[in-house]
């Protein structure tokens, strides 16, 4: 199947059977000459348009009205694996004040790390618990797309069906360019790029 310009591909996807829910728009970047055992892409990409509502939790020294907070006094609760699993299910991402990171790593690291939810200097770690710092950290997540290679194909939600085609296209370009820059062989590592709605088959797109 010939690759289509992004807007044309979205128009084709919209011709499919109408669903009773707001479908996600999925971006698929298939890789080649890329060994996932030796190489990886692990990025937070700030996109122009908000993709979906995210649930963000925080590890802070004291409770805060701006965000659901877990304080050090509550860390012991998470020695119970069930509570950890609930935490991972309930929150998409976490922020944390820097001084707590050693104890966060000890208590939560082996769970949050593999799930890609560990706060990092690039995304989520704040230096103090001021209102401005917390708000700034939360705003970064509002338009963030997480890109992580688990196999030789990158898959992520890039938008929602109700969004304008042009807005979806801008999000796709932002993620594609970030991935391209992170790949060791750049375009040589990209086999093809596809998009789909939740209930449709993928369509190849041309981002040249």
Q: What is the mean pLDDT of the chain?
A: 92
Q: Are residues 150 and 47 in the same domain?
A: yes
Q: Are residues 30 and 75 in the same domain?
A: no
Q: What is the mean pLDDT of residues 187-195?
A: 96
Task: Give the range among 40-44, 53-57, 74-78, 180-184 with minimum mean pLDDT.
Answer: 40-44
Give the tens place of pLDDT for each residue, 3-30: 889 999 999 999 988 899 999 999 999 9
State residue 60's pLDDT score. 97
Q: Looking at the predicted structure, is the pLDDT value of residue 208 above 70?
A: no
CATH of the domain at 39: 3.30.190.20
Q: Looking at the predicted structure, is the pLDDT value of residue 64 above 90?
A: yes
Q: Looking at the predicted structure, is the pLDDT value of residue 129 above 70?
A: yes
Q: Are residues 122 and 180 in the same domain?
A: no
Q: Are residues 61 and 106 in the same domain?
A: yes
State residue 134's pLDDT score. 95
Q: Looking at the predicted structure, is the pLDDT value of residue 42 above 90?
A: no
Q: Looking at the predicted structure, is the pLDDT value of residue 1 above 70?
A: no
Domain's final residue, options 142, 172, 192:
142
Q: Are residues 29 and 77 in the same domain?
A: no
Q: Are residues 109 and 134 in the same domain?
A: yes
Q: Are residues 71 and 21 in the same domain?
A: no
Domain boundaries, position 89 = 56-142
Q: Looking at the predicted structure, is the pLDDT value of residue 178 above 80?
A: yes
Q: Are residues 122 and 158 in the same domain?
A: no
Asked whether the beta carbons of 203 and 12 are under 8 A apart, the reply is: yes
CATH of the domain at 69: 3.40.50.790
Q: Are residues 67 and 134 in the same domain?
A: yes
Domain's final residue, options 142, 159, 177:
142
Domain's final residue, options 106, 124, 142:
142
Q: Are residues 124 and 62 in the same domain?
A: yes
Domain total for the chain? 2
Give the tens place of pLDDT for each residue, 87-113: 999 998 899 999 999 999 999 999 998
Q: Are residues 149 and 47 in the same domain?
A: yes
In terms of pLDDT, which residue wins out, 176 or 16? 176
Which pTM was predicted? 0.78
Task: Give the range among 8-12, 29-33, 83-87, 145-149 with minimum mean pLDDT.
Answer: 145-149
Q: Are residues 71 and 120 in the same domain?
A: yes
């Amino acid at each position: 199947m010939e690759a289509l310009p992004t807007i044309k591909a979205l128009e084709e996807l919209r011709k499919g059977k109408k669903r009773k829910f707001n479908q996600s728009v999925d971006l698929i970047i298939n890789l080649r000459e890329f060994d996932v055992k030796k190489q990886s892409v692990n990025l937070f990409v700030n996109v122009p348009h908000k993709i979906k509502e995210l649930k963000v939790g925080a590890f802070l020294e004291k409770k805060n009205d701006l965000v659901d907070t877990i304080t050090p006094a509550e860390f012991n609760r998470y020695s119970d694996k069930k509570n950890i699993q609930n935490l991972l299910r309930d929150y998409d991402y976490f922020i944390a004040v820097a001084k707590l990171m050693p104890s966060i790593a000890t208590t939560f690291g082996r769970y949050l790390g593999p799930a890609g939810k560990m706060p990092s200097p690039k995304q989520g770690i704040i230096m103090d618990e001021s209102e401005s710092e917390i708000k700034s950290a939360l705003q970064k997540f509002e338009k963030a797309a997480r890109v992580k290679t688990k196999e030789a194909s990158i898959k992520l939600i890039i938008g929602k069906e109700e969004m304008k085609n042009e807005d979806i296209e801008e999000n796709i370009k932002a993620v594609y360019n970030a991935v391209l820059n992170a790949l060791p062989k750049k375009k040589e590592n990209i086999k093809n790029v596809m998009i789909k709605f939740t209930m449709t088959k993928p369509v190849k797109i041309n981002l040249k």
